[in-house]
Chains A and B, each alone.
Chain A
Amino acid sequence: MFYRESGDFKTSYAADQQTFPIRFDRWAIGLVCAFAFLVMPFLINDYWEKSVLLPFLVWAMAALGLNILTGYCGQVSLGTGGFMAVGAYASYKLTTSFPELNLFIVILLSGGVTATVGILFGLPSLRIKGFYLAVATLAAQFFLVWLFNKVPWFYNYSASGMITAPERTMLGIAISGPNSPPWATYLFCLVIVVFFAVIAKNLTRGRIGRSWMAIRDMDIAAEIIGVAPLKAKLSAFAISSFYIGVSGAMFFMVYLGAAEPTEAFGIDKSFLVLFMIIIGGLGSIFGSFVGAAFMTLMPVLFKNIMVGGLGWPTDLVSHIIFMLIGGLIMFFLIVEPHGLAQLWRVTKEKLRLWPFPH
């Protein structure tokens, strides 16, 4: 049978508060993971890696990060691009200074560096809220990109001002650099994203997640119930920036291979990630993935249909895609302002009881 809650009885609080309380969900997510880990690496080719899977994973990671800050803790940020740049430059400096360092560790440390920078730029959030905070984080965006352009130490004094990812291997297989096989880069990113998605889920459903949501929903009441605003807001900034930093490091080291701050980490990236979480669903881990998929995969799909299927000229198609995506965003936001995750939630609620209305 399909999606059903009836008959799925819980006899302990542990069973009631597990990640996927409904049996069907557990099966579905298990199958998806099994496919992603066991089957996909054998099917993947260069095209799927570079234009579908890697961008999806990288942006899903960034969306997870921003969703923790904006969706769960209610602090609007437009500094995502800047924080991704911090992650990218941190990984570049780390891996060129310590070539022996394992790439996993490089990427985790880059996340740590970004978390520190995030806390610094999160300090204004203790005083200002809403749109004003968004403007303050905008300052972070422009300042960081400017910094990486201006200070040659960050790009190791290279003549072009660009940073290039050197080849780094794990277990003898290249993960970064031009010679890395698609399945290896894909698996590398997949492991990181799945691991941190689980951690994000755990964080958001426990004490820390509740303190974030309390600050988001009603900060005065949160304080009166015992949530320290300083701790809640800064921890959200730190953890969110960690995620965004890791995504920036993956973006540069594994996906791009070479980057220049203004273009790779501009303000448009900040907006892109913000759109992802708005369309996917604020305050939802699943929504971060759906939003990232929507924004990265839709253009690819349309392009394949129009250029590949219908044979239209490429330049015309790229303009049509802009309009189509814009239209779709508006459509989905009118149908469900709380994002695709909410749409899915409502469908599930209906399915649970189907065919009965109540």
Chain B
Amino acid sequence: MMMQRQFGEAMLEVKNISLSFGGVKALTDISFDILEGEIRAIIGPNGAGKSSVLNVISGFYHPQEGEVWFRGKKRMGLKPHEVAKQGIARTFQNIALFKGMSTLDNLMTGRITHMKTNLFWQMLWKGPAEREEIEHREKVERIIDFLEIQSIRKTPVGRLPYGLQKRVELGRALAADSKLLLLDEPMAGMNLEEKEDMSRFILDVNDEFGTTIALIEHDMGVVMDLSDRVVVLDYGRKLADGTPDAVRSDQSVIDAYLGVSHD
């Protein structure tokens, strides 16, 4: 019997957001919350609006209606890099690594919001810039150990196989040391073994660093095992919201996935 996990207050609240592109309604009146410390899954058939929700949270899209509250404060039209400064990191559905840079540099870039030395010291290098670099290098090396990617530290990420690239991308998001981690299909295109590894990493991140995680995933087995609560979207509307078991037995969810006609 699994222990009941305890969560804190709502870290992120999405309140009645509607998003449309011209005449196309991507999201209609969506509300849900993400509690501190939980793993929250967002699922739904293709085109349901899952990625749009993530893009709203990370500041790429600005909904026409509704509000996003992060850690008790209402967020107003922030740009993605300002969202990052607030402590939200994410990975992408298609790998979006910096291909020309080494694994180490990719992870170091993840720490960019924490690095402060100004242009002058950067030019000089010796002194504050070097000290800061070493300080952040130590943090990054801890993540490299955690993800077991020591051997590819200096390899340009463009040369790495797909599974490792996914892992480096997770590492880059972890390096940001964020409060909330958004994972857009972290296991897409992976084989069983890689999926098991990735699931283990996600659970460990949640466990060891206490990071709150929201993830989109198509593999229902993974979703049901990992997540504490699940939001189900279909055609830009929220169908269901609750524990994996509750969602699994919800008639509207079953209909959406099996494709029952809507009338």
Residues of A in contact with B (beta carbons under 8 Å apart): 12-14, 17, 199, 202-203, 205-208, 210-211, 213-214, 216-218, 220-229, 235, 283
Contacts and interface: CB of A to CB of B under 8 A. Distances in A.
A217 B124 CA distance: 26
Contact of A227 (B81, B133, B134, B173): B81
Contacts of B176: 225-226
A14 B133 CA distance: 9
Interface stretch (B14-22, B107-115, B254-262): B107-115
A223 B176 CA distance: 13
B114 to A, nearest CB: 9
Contact of A226 (B60, B85, B92, B105): B85
Contacts of A235: 119
Nearest to A12: B134
Q: Chain B CB within 10 Å — which of A199, A211, A224, A228 has the most?
A: A224
A13 B79 contact: no
B122 A218 contact: no
A214 B122 contact: no
B125 to A, nearest CB: 4
A183 to B, nearest CB: 28
A contact face: mostly helix, strand, loop, or mixed: helix
Interface size class of B (residues with CB under 8 A): 35 or more
Given A221-B96, A225-B84, A226-B112, A210 B89 contact: no
Given A206-B125, A206-B129, A214-B98, A221 B92 contact: yes
B138 interface: yes
Contacts of B142: none
Q: Chain B CB within 10 Å — which of A12, A199, A207, A216 has the most?
A: A207
Given A202-B122, A225-B84, A225-B172, A13 B100 contact: no
Contacts of B108: 210
B134 to A, nearest CB: 5
A203 B124 CA distance: 8
B130 A14 contact: yes
Given A14-B130, A207-B117, A214-B109, A223 B80 contact: yes
A202 B125 contact: yes
B94 to A, nearest CB: 10
Contacts of A202: 122-125, 129
Contacts of B125: 202, 205-206
B134 A211 contact: no
17 contacts: A13-B141, A17-B133, A199-B123, A206-B122, A206-B125, A207-B112, A213-B101, A213-B105, A213-B109, A214-B109, A220-B60, A220-B96, A224-B81, A225-B84, A225-B109, A225-B172, A226-B113
A350 to B, nearest CB: 16
A220 B134 CA distance: 27
A14 B136 CA distance: 12
B99 A217 contact: yes
B10 to A, nearest CB: 23
B100 A211 contact: no
Given A13-B134, A216-B98, A226-B84, 16 more contacts: A13-B138, A14-B134, A203-B122, A203-B123, A207-B115, A207-B129, A213-B105, A214-B112, A217-B100, A218-B99, A222-B109, A223-B80, A224-B90, A226-B112, A227-B112, A235-B119
Interface string B37-61: 0000000000000000000001010
Contacts of A225: 81, 84, 89, 109-110, 112-113, 172-173, 176
Contacts of B80: 220, 223-224
B223 interface: no
A213 B81 contact: no
Interface in B157-178: 172-173, 176
B161 to A, nearest CB: 17
A47 B204 CA distance: 68
A358 B196 CA distance: 31
A349 B199 CA distance: 36
Given A14-B134, A224-B84, A218 B98 contact: yes
Contact of B58 (A14, A203, A207, A224): A224
Ordered nearest first, which 8 A-B pairs have the shortest CB separation? A226-B84, A226-B113, A221-B96, A217-B98, A202-B125, A223-B80, A207-B115, A13-B137
A17 B126 CA distance: 12
B97 interface: yes
Contact of B98 (A13, A207, A213): A213
A221 B81 contact: no
A9 to B, nearest CB: 15
B186 to A, nearest CB: 15
Contact of B100 (A208, A216, A224): A216
Contact of A207 (B90, B99, B100, B122): B122
Contacts of A17: 133-134, 137
Contacts of B85: 226
A217 B81 contact: no
Contacts of A227: 81, 109, 112
A205 B112 CA distance: 13
B122 A208 contact: yes
A245 to B, nearest CB: 17
Nearest to B126: A202
A240 to B, nearest CB: 14
Contacts of A214: 98, 101, 109, 112
Given A213-B105, A226-B112, A221 B98 contact: yes
